[in-house]
Amino acid sequence: MNLLNDKEIIHYNLMDAITKKIYQNNLPLTLKGGTALLFGYKLDRMSLDLDFDANKHINLESVIKESFLSFYGSNKLILSNINLRKDTDDVKRYMIDYKNSYNNEIFKLKIEMSFRRKFDNDETNIINSKRIFKLPFLFDFKKAAFENRTASRDLHDIIFIGNKYAAILNQAQIDFIKNMYKNINNIIDRYSEAYKEDTILKDRFEEDIIMLEQIATNKFNRKEKGLPNQESQSPKPDDFSNDFQNRINKGKGWDR
């Protein structure tokens, strides 16, 4: 079970500040991906990047610079560089280099905007001063990623949504997870190495496979029969979530 470390707290807080600043400036961006699940729906793992759908091309340099003003004193963060790594009709990508005030270690944050699809505000929620896609849309984005790459975070996040938010999934989404379980041996073969190489999820593969089985064979069946879901007896991420949120709260030493 992974625990949040001090570097992750710093990184989380910076992503939080930038995402809030984007919403405060009424920019037409909606957060998606793992960080959307983390900020909006209590995802039980750390996510490291900011990924948005954007309804028009936007320069984020000023928003990024303003966000660093939220940090001061012992929590001060220093912006070292903003690199525009990609700028096309479809994608705009920034890589930010920053450090804290008490050593010279450089941290990196990737911010990416996609212009491939325009979102409607009805597809989004405002959660803690951030515009975030609603869960059914985040599930479909994760499903598309699962079908086009092998990344442990995609499998983990699909299982997380199925476990925590089964009640809001539609039948096609439920059937997708059930089909994953029907092909469990292929899932194990496909993802075992990916989990080993993931510094955040490397110790959670067995837990995720157990949870996938419980969701597909118990939770969804109970939902379809109109029965309340019982608490799972398998390893659960609740303790991690609580520790995660507690350590984040302890790390907030500024006024925003």
Residue 226 banded pLDDT, cuts 50, 70, 90: low
Asked whether the predicted pLDDT for residue 20 surpasses 70, the reply is: yes
The pTM score is 0.87
Asked whether the predicted pLDDT for residue 248 surpasses 90, the reply is: no
DSSP assignment letter at 12: H
What's the CATH fold of domain 1-133?
Nuclear Transport Factor 2; Chain: A, (3.10.450)
* Ranges in the chain annotated CATH 1.20.58: 136-225
Residue 101 has a pLDDT of 82
Residue 224 banded pLDDT, cuts 50, 70, 90: low
Residue 116 banded pLDDT, cuts 50, 70, 90: very high
Q: Which residue has the higher pLDDT, 135 or 253?
A: 135
Residue 73 has a pLDDT of 85
The reply to whether CATH 1.10.3470 applies to domain 136-225 is no
Nearest CA to 79 out of 91, 92, 68, 94 is that of 68
* Ranges in the chain annotated CATH 3.10.450.620: 1-133
